[in-house]
Amino acid sequence: MTMTAINTTSKRQLAMVMDLNKCIGCQTCTVACKTQWTNRNGREYMYWNNVETSPGEGYPRNWQNSGGGFDKDGNLKEGVIPDLEKGYGTPWDFNHDEMINAKEFKSKQAPIWGPNWDEDQGAGNFPSDNYFFYIPRLCNHCDNPGCLASCPRDAIFKRSQDGVVLVDLDRCQGYRFCIAGCPYKKIYFNPRVSKSEKCIFCFPRIEQGLPTACAQQCVGRIRFVGFLDDEEGQVHKLVKKYKVAIPLKPEAGTGANVYYVPPVDGPVKFDANGKPILGSNRIPPEHLEALFGPEVHAVVKTMRAEMENKKNGKGSEILDLLIAYKHSDMFRLDNDYYKAIANGNLRPIDERYTAGKFTSFKAVH
Amino acid sequence: MRKIVTSLVAVAALGGSSFAADFLAPVKTKSDLSKLTASSVELKGLKFETVYLYPQTAVAGNDKESSAKFASAQALKADVAVLVNERDFSVVVKWKDSTNSLQTQKDIKSFGDGVALQIPQNCSDPAKLPYIGMGSEGRPVTIMLQKNTQGYYAPTVADLTDTQANNNLNLFNDELKKKQEKVAASATAKYQKVFVAEGFRSTTEVKEQTGYTMDMKYNKGSWTAVFTKKLKDDYSSLSSVAGKDAYPAYGNEAEPVKGAVASFCDAEPIALAIWDGGVDGRDGTKWLSSWTPIKMKDSEKSKKAILEISAKVKGNVANGKKLASENCVACHTIGSVKAPENMAPNLNNVGGYSTAAYLRDSIIAPNDVVVPGLNANRSPMQFYAVDGNGKRVSNMPSFEHLKPAEIDDLVAYLQTLKAGVKK
């Protein structure tokens, strides 16, 4: 066995862009993911994809302040493992049987917290300046994943073909340092198999040319999926060319590959008499900066200018693109690329996820 | 550092029984050791030797809560005995733990108590044993690990397709019941695993576990654990002749066995690790012993090896401390003198779990053992650099320019770096 350097860099990188201006918080993505991957076998509490209300405590509760990621110097920052009941919330059962006997309908245990618990609460004062928006979150398939860096077993790997970050379930021994290490708290511990599990970017779908389930099902058509280096792709255009899509919590230093077009204009504020204050915006720039870093201000400026252009009949490629006319443009998965790697094989292009990376050990003497 | 030295003196004052054993003497038995459990009668009246385990602090994990609970950990005393028969060899370990911690299927933050036995795959040179933290490149180890867990489901490859890739089960009544029974049957009752490793990142499970048995039992504030393995297996050899059970002869001066993976040693080193679920212990959050030799054969060779492995270097500790402050602390954290993070392994308990030979070797030839840190993308400040062939090369320069007496002083000082013993 040789100790090769960890596979942390990839030749190509898959990425996702989400236009938060269009997210209606319907949770169709959440359900698409849940029914596909996490409704069974110890994953019941996990939401590989969730939509939360911002500002809010989110899922798991208070993930923004739960540590992980890297400091300025690139050192691992300490993090915490969220509590199952108080942090994630366990799916609770209702007393269906007792209802037959005309008992009050209620949950069997007192619900403490759950995903989307603080839906639509937001911040500010109703009706003058309250505000919120939705933010769907999934694993960011980072360039330098905090989970990977903190795994003492080298059980997390980044696929060189497309940058998808996966847990090698054969190597994983359930130590959970990855959970502390992820600044997004998007890797979960499955207590039934004693392993960590996370969003797999629907790689079995992706390899067949289909987008992730969350993107495919999105009714608001807010999600774009493609390779960052595909210059014809909308993902590349939004992220690299026009720079209007930016990652969440860039200060975590992980190089996230899920990008967001930030909410540009909320409704205007009302004055004491209930009259709209023209030109005002309920979403404080500081709140956006806390989520997306200082870059967000330039993005908002660009987006406003583009909206103005569109209004004035000057046209805007960015806005045309964000309208998301065709799935075929929104999802460019380069199936020829995968087909070439797979060489006509239906199996995953990289079998480490199912087979284990170092399963055969050869002693060296 | 004064504090640590003082506590050592205090321990010494307690008397002979608290001293760590220089070696373990195996007890011969005719019992079938493969059936040995933590409740077996064979354990009664067995003479135990003391082995101290020290908190692993060379590389820190990133779990804030666990690190805080583990921060003030003291050394742990374990009682160890070794049993051998013609085919098998057993290590019995007893230690105190005020909490019986169990990793459950219902909680994501429960951690079970655990214990591991580590055996080098090659011990022919007692001065160049594997790194104590699960071996090192080119110096593999075999590890038997057991943890206190509620039964859990280890997915086999076939099950993975079933649970990961397929959609919901369209099963009802009998069919569903059958499926559920099948799933229940796949639950592992206990976490008992065998690994081979060349450094903690490389730890790889041995799936075809034949000839290994383990058991651990909690009773009145202390754990008793047993590990049994064949004297000879694919990964290590505690017997001198291939295929035959040569132990009763106490090893003919063994010729290296053709095709055998490992060499037989007259003094076979083992090391122990203990985890406390009460401090969220797992992986590196553990107590670790130094290599402790088992006298498999009474010979000159074994005497020499025991002397090498258990050596306490005579040197001027005060001068060693001075040398360390001049040469080491810029990169290594010692005591409360903090070096930049991720620059080099923390040395605070290095005296507890290292042999003198390892300490000496690390000073003169830092490349012999490169400790694998976390955060592999971290650069340039890392324990190591990766050369053109993907090989890790230590970033520490050799200190062979120090005079031999100075190196003795330094090693003598480093041997004092260890936590006090838990009362």
Q: What mean pLDDT comes out for the span A33-49? A: 90
d(CA B141, CA B139): 7
Cα of A364 to nearest chain B Cα, Å: 6
Cis preceding linkage at A55, omega within 30: yes
**Helix B404-415 vs helix B317-327: crossing angle, to nearest 10:** 100
The radius of gyration of chain A's CA atoms, rounded to the nearest angstrom, is 22
Residue B160 has pLDDT above 50, yes or no: no
User: What are the backbone angles phi and psi of residue B178, rounded to the nearest 5°?
Assistant: -60, -45
d(CA B378, CA B292): 34
Residues 160-199 of A with CB under 8 A from B: 169-171, 173-177, 180-181, 188-189, 191-195
Residues 248-307 of A with CB under 8 A from B: none
Structure confidence by residue, pLDDT tens digits, A236-254: 999 999 999 999 999 999 9
Q: What helix, strand, coil percent values describe chain A, rounded to 5?
A: 30, 15, 55
What does DSSP assign to residue A35?
I
Q: Which chain B residue is nearest to residue A4, measuring alpha carbons?
A: B390
Residue A77 has pLDDT above 90, yes or no: yes
Residue B253 has pLDDT above 60, yes or no: no
Structure confidence by residue, pLDDT tens digits, B221-236: 999 999 999 888 777 7
CB of A78 less than 8 A from some CB of B: yes
Q: What mean pLDDT comes out for the span B233-250? A: 48
Percent of chain B topping pLDDT 70: 82
Q: What mean pLDDT comes out for the span A206-219? A: 95
CB of B335 less than 8 A from some CB of A: no
Identify the pLDDT of residue B8. 42
Cβ of A152 and B283 within 8 Å? yes
Identify the pLDDT of residue B177. 79
Provide the pLDDT confidence category of residue B380 given band limits of 50, 70 and 90. low
The overall average pLDDT reported for chain B is: 83
> Closest to A358 (Cβ–Cβ): which among B67, B202, B284?
B202
> Closest to B64 (Cβ–Cβ): which among A180, A359, A364?
A180
Identify the pLDDT of residue A199. 97
The radius of gyration of chain B's CA atoms, rounded to the nearest angstrom, is 22
Tell me which of B152, B377, B378, B393 to substitute to probe the interface with A (most A C-beta atoms closer than 10 Å): B377
Q: Which amino acid is at B284?
A: G
Structure confidence by residue, pLDDT tens digits, A278-306: 989 999 999 999 999 999 999 999 999 99
Cβ of A36 and B167 within 8 Å? yes
- C-beta separation of A235 from A16 below 8 A: yes
Identify the pLDDT of residue A263. 96
E strand segments, B300-391: 384-386
Percent of chain A topping pLDDT 90: 72
Identify the pLDDT of residue B374. 85
Q: Which of A116-120, B110-114, B256-260 has the lowest mean pLDDT?
A: B256-260
Identify the pLDDT of residue A8. 55
Q: Which chain B residue is nearest to residue A359, measuring alpha carbons?
A: B204
Q: Which of A51-60, B70-79, B145-154 has the lowest mean pLDDT?
A: B145-154
Which of B94, B91, B81, B140 has the alpha carbon at shortest distance from B117? B91
Q: For residue B273, what are the contacts with CB-CB under 8 A and spacing of at least 6?
A: B53, B56, B115, B116, B118, B286, B287, B288, B289
Which residues are registered as beta bridge partners of B188?
Answer: B152
Residue B283 has pLDDT above 80, yes or no: yes
Vertex B13: Cα angle to B11 and B19 (nearest 5): 55
Identify the pLDDT of residue B1. 40
CB of A44 less than 8 A from some CB of B: no
Cβ of A177 and B63 within 8 Å? yes
User: What are the backbone angles phi and psi of residue A309, rounded to the nearest 5°?
Assistant: -55, -45
- C-beta separation of A164 from A22 below 8 A: no
Which of B233, B237, B232 has the alpha carbon at shortest distance from B265? B237
Q: What mean pLDDT comes out for the span B195-216? A: 84
Q: What mean pLDDT comes out for the span A65-79? A: 94
Cα of B136 to nearest chain A Cα, Å: 10
Which residues are registered as beta bridge partners of B393?
Answer: B385
Q: Which chain A residue is nearest to residue B124, measuring alpha carbons?
A: A365
Provide the pLDDT confidence category of residue B250 given band limits of 50, 70 and 90. very low
A9-to-A70, A164, A255, B390, B391 alpha-carbon distances in Å: 17, 10, 11, 14, 17
The tokens 């997004």 sit on which residue? A184
Identify the pLDDT of residue B203. 83
Identify the pLDDT of residue A6. 44
What's the sign of the alpha-carbon dihedral B38, B44, B49, B50?
A: positive
- C-beta separation of B112 from B102 below 8 A: yes
Cα of B188 to nearest chain A Cα, Å: 9
Q: How many CB pairs under 8 A join A and B?
A: 167
Q: Which residue has the higher pLDDT, B106 or A176?
A: A176
Q: Which of A202-211, A308-317, B6-15, B17-26 has the lowest mean pLDDT?
A: B6-15
Query: What's the pTM?
Result: 0.89
- C-beta separation of A95 from A108 below 8 A: yes
- C-beta separation of A338 from A350 below 8 A: no
Cβ of B283 and A39 within 8 Å? no
Cα of B410 to nearest chain A Cα, Å: 29
ipTM of the complex: 0.89
What does DSSP assign to residue B33?
G
Tell me which of B66, B108, B109 to substitute to probe the interface with A (most A C-beta atoms closer than 10 Å): B108
Residues 134-153 of A with CB under 8 A from B: 144, 148-153
Q: Would you tell me how many other CB atoms lie within 10 Å of the CB of residue A62?
A: 16
Identify the pLDDT of residue A13. 96
Q: For residue A66, what are the contacts with CB-CB under 8 A and spacing of at least 6?
A: A60, A79, A80, A82, A183, A185
d(CA B317, CA B205): 42
Q: Would you tell me how many other CB atoms lie within 10 Å of the CB of residue A273?
A: 5
Instruction: Please report, in angstroms and rounded to a whole number, the separation of the first and last CA atoms in chain A.
Output: 11
Cβ of B105 and A192 within 8 Å? yes
The tokens 């330098």 sit on which residue? A144
Three-class SS state of B10: helix
Residue A138 has pLDDT above 90, yes or no: yes
- What six digits make up the tokens of B422? 């838990």
Structure confidence by residue, pLDDT tens digits, A101-117: 888 888 888 888 999 99
Cβ of B105 and A74 within 8 Å? no
d(CA B212, CA B215): 11
> Closest to B64 (Cβ–Cβ): which among A5, A78, A148?
A78
- What six digits make up the tokens of A266? 């909320």
Cβ of B283 and A177 within 8 Å? yes
> Closest to B64 (Cβ–Cβ): which among A4, A67, A151?
A67
CB of B130 less than 8 A from some CB of A: no
> Closest to A149 (Cβ–Cβ): which among B167, B375, B390?
B375
Provide the pLDDT confidence category of residue A33 given band limits of 50, 70 and 90. very high
Q: What mean pLDDT comes out for the span B125-135? A: 92
Provide the pLDDT confidence category of residue B155 given band limits of 50, 70 and 90. low
Q: For residue B179, what are the contacts with CB-CB under 8 A and spacing of at least 6?
A: B169, B171
Cβ of A193 and B153 within 8 Å? yes
Q: Which of B92-101, B361-370, B378-387 has the lowest mean pLDDT?
A: B378-387
Residue A25 has pLDDT above 70, yes or no: yes
CB of A91 less than 8 A from some CB of B: no
